Amino acid sequence: MARHLSLHRRKSSDGATRVKLNLALTARFFASIRESEFDLDGAIEALRDTHRQMAELLTPGEGDKRGGLEASSAPHPKG
Spatial distance between the Cα atoms of 76 and 79, rounded to a whole number of angstroms:
9
Which amino acid belongs to residue 30?
A: F
Beta-carbon contacts of residue 13 (< 8 Å; ≥ 6 apart): none
pTM beyond 0.85: no
Q: What is the pLDDT of residues 18-73, one digit of tens each?
A: 889 899 889 988 888 777 777 778 888 888 988 888 877 777 665 455 454 444 44
Which helix (H) or strand (E) segment holds residue 13: the answer is: none
Predicted confidence at residue 4, as pLDDT, reads 84
Predicted confidence at residue 13, as pLDDT, reads 92
Predicted confidence at residue 43, as pLDDT, reads 82
Predicted confidence at residue 14, as pLDDT, reads 92
